[in-house]
Chain A
Amino acid sequence: MLRYLTIFGTFVRACLVRDLTFRANFILECLTSLGWMSMNLAFYLLVFTFTPEIGRDTGWTREPFFAFVATGMIINSIVQALFMPSAEELTELVRTGGLDAVLVKPLDAQFLLSMHRVDFSACANGLVGVCLLAWAVGRFETPPPAAAWAVYPLLLLCGVAILYALVIMLAAATIHLGRNQSLYDFWFYLTNFSRYPAEIYSGPWGSPLRALCTFVIPILLVVNVPARAITQPLTGAAWWAVGGTVCAAVAALVVSRVVFQRSLARYRSASS
């Protein structure tokens, strides 16, 4: 374990050096990332000029909703920084046969393929997310209880774990497809479902979708459960959701590990 932490530390240092070597590009990446986030926030502000809350009697008025958005930003920035750059590279490694060089290294292939690149510019969104969270929580009528703050970091970690599992499984699909240039787009669109409160998915089409995105692909747990923990009272049902999210995170990690290993076993080199 220590060996892997040391190697990960080396990856982090190398990526930091790389980012700081191309400082102008790094700053531009931070700015564009912040621009994307600002655009989304502007859209939500626009929506709240037309309505007092998202969904009737859901409790997602402006400040709780922005706490929800901030939670999503923090979780997504961690995933974008730590895992997405490596997963995106995998698609080309499979197509070109470059994966061979990774597989012969005396390290766990999943670790190497999913964590060797760190994108520091993605952290900018996470920092803004923390500030937005502080702003939104500061405007709550009732501040979140200590218990909520205690479980919040754990739930953030669970959210990251679920998204990591999803990234890994999408990356594994690359091995079957030969090429998966749409990985990033598919990831973006799939995680779109997690970017809004689960309550909006109601009615004859919404309820089955909500069930699918909660129990089969648990992306609705990623942001909803931690955001609800700090914006709504931690009652009995909320504790069940917390427990369910922890279990879902563990299950997602195990399943993604199995899927990735089986996909690697089917890999046929494309190089000569």
Chain B
Amino acid sequence: MSGPSDTSAAASDPLAGLRIWWTMLVISIEERLVYRGDFALGTLMRFLPIVTQVFLWTAVFSATARGDIAGYSRNDIVAYYLLTMLSRAFSSMPGLATGIARSIRDGSIKKFLVQPVDYLSFLLASRVAHKLVYYAVAAAPFALVFFLCRSFFPPLPDATTVAAFLGALLLSFLLGFFLEAALGMLGFWFLEISSLVFGYMLVQYLLSGHMFPIDMLAGIPSGIPGTSLADVVSWLPFQFTAYFPAAVWLGKVRGAELVRLLVVEAVWVVVMAVACRLAWRRGTRRYSAFGG
């Protein structure tokens, strides 16, 4: 069994494609709402790590005479962690890569080879649904936490910065999706990718700025002459999935540098989307499925 799905029906009627997409979105939202208890629990737990980080950094600042660390005051660091939570709410894709690999392994992916539904579009619609339900459930807790922690934040940035922040968040959603989907597509070659996914999560957690602001690596040599670890991290796409939106809001990235990084983020999205598409085409050519 091989070859991408036939989307000729969608191509002949421009509205048909939209209708298929809408149906996929509605089905996914309904599926997400079936297990509301699990979903609510998952939403709640995402607030827990920030609590320990706030106390840890408060303890660190209490024991040192420094007013700031790598340009971040204690309040900045707390605000930074809260903002990275928001970034991750957009860019994290729990279960996407392992779900794709599972579909390849158990053969359920073959239905997308015979149905006029594009697999990547289906996954994207499913993720949009997941995120919409997540935001609906998480909006109130997010608003409450941000309100309670408002004293940690600097004054509201100007409208341009807010627009750049929103753009960075939307791009981080797309980048997170295509990064994980590309990882999942490796299932066509390796079948079992759980260790790869764990490795990816590890690298992602460290290099995205989720663990600490990337600026803290500025003074640490990378081994390449004249290059710090922060420089190396800035060459990779991971910073856009947590650090970058937070840094934009806190005013750590401004002006021409802000525009340059938004463009770089958009380029990474395109690169990963093309990589996904190529992996799908090549993967489905070598894919074999047995049974009914």
Contact residues of A with B, CB < 8 Å? 25, 28-29, 31-32, 35-36, 39, 42-43, 46-47, 50-56, 58, 173, 176-182, 185-186, 189-190, 192-193, 195-196, 199-203, 206, 209
Contact = CB atoms under 8 A, between A and B. Distances in A.
Interface string B49-75: 101100110111111101001000000
A178 B37 contact: yes
Bin chain B's interface residue count.
35 or more
Given A43-B211, A181-B35, A202-B59, 6 more contacts: A28-B196, A31-B195, A39-B211, A56-B62, A181-B42, A206-B55
A169 to B, nearest CB: 13
Nearest to B199: A32
Chain B interface secondary structure, helix, strand, loop or mixed? helix
B55 A50 contact: no
Given A43-B211, A50-B66, A177 B60 contact: no
B140 interface: no
Contacts of A173: 41
Contacts of A192: 48-49, 52
B205 A39 contact: yes
B41 A51 contact: no
B98 to A, nearest CB: 11
Given A32-B195, A54-B60, A182-B41, A177 B35 contact: yes
Interface of B: 35, 37-38, 41-42, 45-46, 48-49, 51-52, 55-56, 58-64, 66, 69, 95, 192, 194-196, 198-199, 202, 205-206, 211-212, 216-217, 220
A29 B63 contact: no
Nearest to B192: A25
Given A36-B202, A39-B205, A43-B211, A196 B55 contact: yes
A72 to B, nearest CB: 13
B43 to A, nearest CB: 9
Nearest to A193: B52
A56 B63 contact: yes
Contact of B64 (A51, A189, A190, A209): A51
Given A185-B45, A190-B48, A46 B62 contact: no
Given A51-B60, A177-B38, A43 B212 contact: yes
B56 A196 contact: yes
A54 B199 contact: no
Given A36-B202, A185-B45, A200-B58, A50 B69 contact: yes
B207 to A, nearest CB: 10
Contacts of B198: 29, 32, 36
A46 B195 contact: no
A46 B55 contact: no
A216 to B, nearest CB: 15
Contacts of A199: 59
Nearest to B36: A177
Contacts of A54: 56, 59-60, 63
A84 B180 CA distance: 25
A35 B202 contact: yes
Nearest to A192: B52
B48 A50 contact: no
Nearest to B219: A49
A47 B69 CA distance: 10
Contacts of A206: 55
Nearest to B148: A205
Contacts of B63: 51-56, 58
